[in-house]
């Protein structure tokens, strides 16, 4: 979807250790959105202006102006919106599509809203994908949510939050090393609940055959609150070389396959050892991304079910590694990884 450059403007400033609510924007000329700050071209004087001009991001209530913070988790990037005063998202799915556009918008894989808590949770998280669809949850996104809340509330040190999502209660915890550990809950292996129309065996849908483009793929299906189709091999190839997979060609065919009534995320996996995996992902509603937290969790669950890996693994993604553990004691999957601020800004919608 194209949008007129003349209707857009952006302000941003670089991240610092100061409270988010105290950081004012740096106003640019009325050009199209800039996806990340070109720090090499900013003068010292410009940076001084960025820390001296009001208003603050959180206090900006002007109609039609959206304060936001750009975050990324292993390159999976999000426009974070402080929505704590309402259960109604501050932008529509159509506006989210425009904001996520990497040529005519801010550029992101999704827009995430931090809302008031419900059902006993501290906060509620909702997300619109770059195609305007709304997924149940996002693993990399929930790590960013934990860091974003800590900044909004000016919290220091280890913090634990109960986040209500479309996938149920998710509990992220910020760590002293700057990473975030997330209790992702129990994996769902029941075919109707994933959902998938593929036939199940005693463990769920494990190593089922799925024909895509005339090729038989061996797939295991897992839900981490959102559906995942994980494949380590085809009928013709026992070991995938994931860097050779043409994601843009095959990914959409998995996503929209008739066996997945709610569409699906798809992970292509290469096994280096029983504790070291590599994956590439085609995300439902976002396409090829640099990382997918729920996908990495689903990959480890699938690898254990297929007897390919232990319950604690490092999963390499294009954007970097995640540490995933599927505990026997409580059947919960735990994900640990980074979440970082890219820049602060506001957009005229």
Do 285 and 130 contact (CB within 8 A), yes or no? yes
Per DSSP, the three-state class of 33 is coil
Do 345 and 10 contact (CB within 8 A), yes or no? yes
Q: How many helices (H) and strands (E) does the chain have?
A: 5, 18
> In angstroms, what CA-CA distances link 299 with 172, 232, 293, 308, 346?
20, 9, 10, 11, 36
List residues with catalytic annotation: 138, 292
Do 161 and 125 contact (CB within 8 A), yes or no? no
Closest CA to 173 of 193, 190, 150: 150
Do 220 and 209 contact (CB within 8 A), yes or no? no
Closest CA to 223 of 194, 200, 196, 203: 194
């Amino acid at each position: 979807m194209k949008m007129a450059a003349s209707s857009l403007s952006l302000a941003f400033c670089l991240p610092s250790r100061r409270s988010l609510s105290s950081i004012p924007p740096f106003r640019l000329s009325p050009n199209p959105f800039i996806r990340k700050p070109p720090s090499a071209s900013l003068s010292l004087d410009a940076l001084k202006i960025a820390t001296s001009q009001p208003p603050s991001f959180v206090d900006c209530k002007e109609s039609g102006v959206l304060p936001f913070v750009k975050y990324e988790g292993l390159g999976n990037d999000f426009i974070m919106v402080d929505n704590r005063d309402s259960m109604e998202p501050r932008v529509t799915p159509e506006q989210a599509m425009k904001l996520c556009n990497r040529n005519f918008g801010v550029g992101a894989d999704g827009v995430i809203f931090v809302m008031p808590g419900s059902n006993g949770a501290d906060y509620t998280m909702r997300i619109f994908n770059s195609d305007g669809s709304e997924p149940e949850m996002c693993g990399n996104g929930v790590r960013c949510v934990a860091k974003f809340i800590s900044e909004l509330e000016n919290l220091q040190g280890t913090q634990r939050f109960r986040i209500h999502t479309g996938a149920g209660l998710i509990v992220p915890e910020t760590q002293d090393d700057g990473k975030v550990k997330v209790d992702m809950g129990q994996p769902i292996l029941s075919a109707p609940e994933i959902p998938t129309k593929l036939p199940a065996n005693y463990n769920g849908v494990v190593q089922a055959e799925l024909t895509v483009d005339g090729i038989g793929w061996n797939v295991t299906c897992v839900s981490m609150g959102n559906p995942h189709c994980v494949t380590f091999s085809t009928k013709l190839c026992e070991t995938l070389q994931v860097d050779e997979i043409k994601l843009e060609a095959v990914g959409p065919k998995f996503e929209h396959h008739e066996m997945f009534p709610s569409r699906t995320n798809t992970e292509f996996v290469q096994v280096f050892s029983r504790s070291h995996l590599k994956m590439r992902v085609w995300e439902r509603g976002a396409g090829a991304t640099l990382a997918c937290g729920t996908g990495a969790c689903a990959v480890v669950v699938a690898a254990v079910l297929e007897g390919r890996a232990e319950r604690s693994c490092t999963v390499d993604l294009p954007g970097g590694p995640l540490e995933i553990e599927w505990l026997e004691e409580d059947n919960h999957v735990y994900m640990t990884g980074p979440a970082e601020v890219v820049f602060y800004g506001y957009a005229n919608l």
